[in-house]
Structure 1
Amino acid sequence: MRTMMLALAATSLTVPAVTVATPAAAHQARAYSGKTWYDSQGRLRCRRSNGTTGLIVGAAGGALVGRAIDTRGERATGTILGAAAGALLGRQVERGRSTRRCR
């Protein structure tokens, strides 16, 4: 009985390892593999950043710089303008940081 239970346990551990698809098989099937994939019409597509992280970081940095530059009055104008400019600049930098070009 003990031998049969050990054999059953060994078999149950090897079956999932055999049925797992390898990355090479997925690539041959033209499926998704990382940052590139093939769409339903066979065209190569890339995953690109939408710039959200750059937008948030740029807005925070721009608000701080705008507040430091605007020294008159309430400084709200400088903070708002700095945040807007920083957000636009940060988003452009984040979206333009692509090392691989896909079409």
Structure 2
Amino acid sequence: MLALAATSLLAPAAPAFAKERRYYTSDNGVRYWKGDDGRYYCKRSNGTTGLIVGAAAGALLGRAVDTRGERATGTILGAAAGALVGRQVQRGTVKCR
């Protein structure tokens, strides 16, 4: 009975282990893989590091610009704008051709 229960827990995870991608690296350092349709796809960053660094820099810049009151508004708006810009900058650095 215990073996049956353990097997039933692994069954939903089986499709995740079905196929593993093989990554290649080009001369300029871009990682890519070949899809089932024969086309090549590149591995792109999701922009998390850029988001965090941009949010921190934007918060500091927003706090410096907003000199009235508690400066929370400038900090929050600067962090939001910096996060969006930082994410787009990091995601836009990889060019796949």
TM over 0.5: yes
Query: Aligned partners of 1:50, 1:82: CA distance in 2, in Å?
Result: 21
Superposition pairs for residues 64-79 of structure 1, below 5 Å? 64-79=60-75
Secondary structure of the residue aligned to 1:97 is coil
Q: How many correspondences in the alignment?
A: 71
Q: Summarize deviations over 1:24-76 as a string: whole Å, max 9, x none.
A: xxxxxxx4323111011111010011111100000000000000111100100
Secondary structure of the residue aligned to 1:74 is coil
**Does 2:86 match 1:85?**
no
Q: Which runs of 5+ in 1 are unaligned?
A: 1-30
Larger CA Rg, structure 1 vs 2? 1
Secondary structure of the residue aligned to 2:74 is helix
Structural RMSD (CA)? 1.2
- TM-fit CA distance, 1:80: 0.2
| Identical-pair percentage | 69
TM-score by length of 1: 0.65
Q: Which runs of 5+ in 2 are unaligned?
A: 1-21, 26-30
Superposition pairs for residues 1-103 of structure 1, below 5 Å? 31-34=22-25, 35-98=31-94, 100-102=95-97
Query: Aligned partners of 1:101, 1:39: CA distance in 2, in Å?
Result: 15
Query: Aligned partners of 2:69, 2:83: CA distance in 1, in Å?
Result: 24
